[in-house]
C-alpha cells in the first residue's frame, strides 16, 4: 500500500490551567503517491498541528497514520520538512546544507556530489554554493531549504507556509519552482498556506479546514497545478474557473472567521 493514510486523527492539547484545546478532531485523509495537496484554513484551525503529526514531531491523542503501509511513530528521512524560515544551519555553507541528509546517512562526496550539484542547478544556486547562509536573501534561503529537502529523497514533503515570509514577486517565482520540482521529482507534497491564490495554484487537491475543533471542512480537486507547470502563473490566474474558485473559498473562510468572532463574543 503506497501513499499516506490518515484515519480519524484527533489531537487534544491539555493546558496547564486544566482546560484543553481540541486542535484536531476526526481528520481522515488519503493521499496517493505523487499527489500535491494544499491546505488552507483560518488561523488556529490545526494546520500546523496536522503537519507536525505527519512529520512525527507530535503523537496524536487518537487515530491512525500510516505511510506506505507502516505506522508513523517519529520523524524520519522518508518525510521531509520545509519550514517557513530559520531551519537552515548557519554554520554550514549552502552546499553543506543541501548535502546534510546524504552526509548523515554516511554517504561520501562521490555518492551525493552529482545529485547535490544537480539540485543546486535546478534551484539556481550553483554560483552561491560556497556562500554562507546569512549572505543569502530570504528567497534564496527558501530555495536552499527546498534543495536540502529534495537531496534527501523523501517520499513525502511537508511544507508549512514555505513562502510565507517572501515578497510577492519572489513568492510567484518560488511557486513556479515548487510546481516544477513537483513535476520533475513526482514527490507527494503537502503544502500549508495562508494565501488562497497559492492554495489554488499549488494544489491538485485543496483541503479547507475549519477551526474549533480543527477538522476538514471541504476538499477540492483542481486543474490549476497541472496547468501551471512550465507556464506563466499569471496566465493560470486569468482562467475563469480560477477567479470563481477563489471567490468561493475566500467567502468560505470569511464566514468561518466571522463565526469565530461571533462565538467568542457569545462566550463573553
Partner 1 sequence: MIIFLIYIAIFVGSFFLVRLIVDQTAKGYSARKTVTFGDESAVTSNRTASVVSILTIFLLWGAFTGSSLLPRFLHAPGPFEGVATMTYTAEADDGSRDEATITVLVHPVGEDAEVPEVDPGDGWAKNDAYTIGAWRSGLMRVDRNDEKGRDQGHQVVAVNGEPIVPGGEVLTEFGRVGMSQKGTLNFEPAKGWQMEPIWLPPPEAVVQRLGEIASDGYRDSTLWEHLGYSLFRVVVGFVAGALVGIPLGYAMGLSAWFRGWFDPIVEFMRPVPPLALIPLVIIWAGIGETGKIILLFLAALWIMAIAARSGVSGVNITKVHAAYSLGASKWQIMRHVIVPNSLPEIFTGARVAMGVCWGTVVAAELVAAEQGAGMMIMVASKFQLTDIVLMGIILIGVIGFGIDMLMRKAERVLVPWKGRS
Ligand X SMILES: Nc1ncnc2c1ncn2[C@@H]1O[C@H](COP(=O)(O)OP(=O)(O)OP(=O)(O)O)[C@@H](O)[C@H]1O
**Closest to 227 measured CA to CA, from 200, 208, 248:** 200
Q: Which of 43, 68, 137, 231 binds ligand X (CB under 6 A)?
A: 43
> Is the N-terminal amide bond of 54 cis, ω within 30° of 0?
no
Q: Which does 138 bind (CB under 5 to 8 A by kind): partner 1, ligand X, none?
A: none
**Closest to 31 measured CA to CA, from 190, 179, 191, 229:** 190
Q: Which does 101 bind (CB under 5 to 8 A by kind): ligand X, partner 1, none?
A: partner 1
Contact in structure between 121 and 151 (CB atoms under 8 Å): no
Q: Which of residues 183-222 bind ligand X (CB under 6 A)?
A: 214
Alpha-carbon distance of 195 to 198, in angstroms, equals: 5
Question: C-beta of 189: minimal distance to ligand X in Å?
Answer: 17
Q: Looking at 15-23, 74-82, 188-196, 222-230, which segment touches partner 1 (CB under 8 A)?
A: 74-82
Alpha-carbon distance of 266 to 268, in angstroms, equals: 5
Helix (H, G, I), strand (E, B) or coil at 11: strand
Q: Which does 80 bind (CB under 5 to 8 A by kind): ligand X, partner 1, none?
A: partner 1
Alpha-carbon distance of 133 to 122, in angstroms, equals: 18
Q: Looking at 9-17, 79-87, 185-193, 250-258, which segment touches partner 1 (CB under 8 A)?
A: 79-87
Question: C-beta of 179: minimal distance to ligand X in Å?
Answer: 23
Question: C-beta of 80: minimal distance to partner 1 in Å?
Answer: 6
Q: Which of 2, 8, 13, 89 binds ligand X (CB under 6 A)?
A: 13
Beta bridge partners of 5: 30, 66
Say whether residue 80 binds partner 1 (CB under 8 A).
Answer: yes
Q: Which does 254 bind (CB under 5 to 8 A by kind): ligand X, partner 1, none?
A: none
Alpha-carbon distance of 188 to 154, in angstroms, equals: 9
State the residues that interact with ligand X by CB under 6 A: 13, 15, 21, 23, 41, 43-49, 214
Amino acid at each position: 500500500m503506497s501513499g499516506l493514510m490518515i484515519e480519524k486523527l484527533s489531537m487534544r492539547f491539555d493546558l496547564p490551567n486544566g482546560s484543553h484545546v481540541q486542535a484536531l478532531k476526526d481528520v481522515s485523509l488519503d493521499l496517493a503517491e505523487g499527489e500535491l495537496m494544499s491546505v488552507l484554513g483560518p488561523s488556529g484551525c490545526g494546520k500546523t498541528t496536522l503537519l507536525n503529526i505527519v512529520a512525527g514531531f507530535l503523537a496524536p491523542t487518537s487515530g491512525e497514520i500510516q505511510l506506505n503501509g507502516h505506522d508513523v511513530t517519529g520523524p524520519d528521512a522518508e518525510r521531509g520538512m520545509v519550514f517557513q524560515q530559520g531551519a537552515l544551519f548557519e554554520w554550514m555553507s549552502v552546499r553543506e546544507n543541501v548535502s546534510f541528509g546524504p552526509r548523515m546517512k554516511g554517504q561520501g562526496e562521490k555518492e551525493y556530489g552529482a545529485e547535490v550539484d544537480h539540485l543546486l542547478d535546478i534551484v539556481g544556486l550553483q554560483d552561491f554554493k560556497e556562500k554562507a547562509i546569512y549572505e543569502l536573501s530570504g528567497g534564496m534561503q527558501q530555495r536552499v531549504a527546498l534543495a536540502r529537502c529534495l537531496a534527501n529523497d523523501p517520499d513525502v514533503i511537508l511544507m508549512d507556509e514555505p513562502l510565507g515570509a517572501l515578497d510577492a514577486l519572489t513568492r510567484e517565482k518560488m511557486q513556479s519552482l515548487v510546481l516544477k520540482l513537483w513535476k520533475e521529482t513526482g514527490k507527494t507534497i503537502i503544502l500549508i498556506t495562508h494565501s488562497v491564490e497559492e492554495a489554488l495554484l499549488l494544489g491538485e487537491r485543496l483541503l479547507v479546514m475549519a477551526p474549533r475543533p480543527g477538522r476538514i471542512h471541504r476538499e477540492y480537486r483542481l486543474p490549476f497545478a497541472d496547468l501551471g507547470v512550465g507556464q506563466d502563473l499569471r496566465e493560470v490566474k486569468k482562467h475563469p474557473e480560477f477567479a470563481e474558485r477563489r471567490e468561493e473559498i475566500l467567502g468560505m473562510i470569511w464566514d468561518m472567521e466571522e463565526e469565530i468572532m461571533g462565538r467568542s463574543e457569545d462566550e463573553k
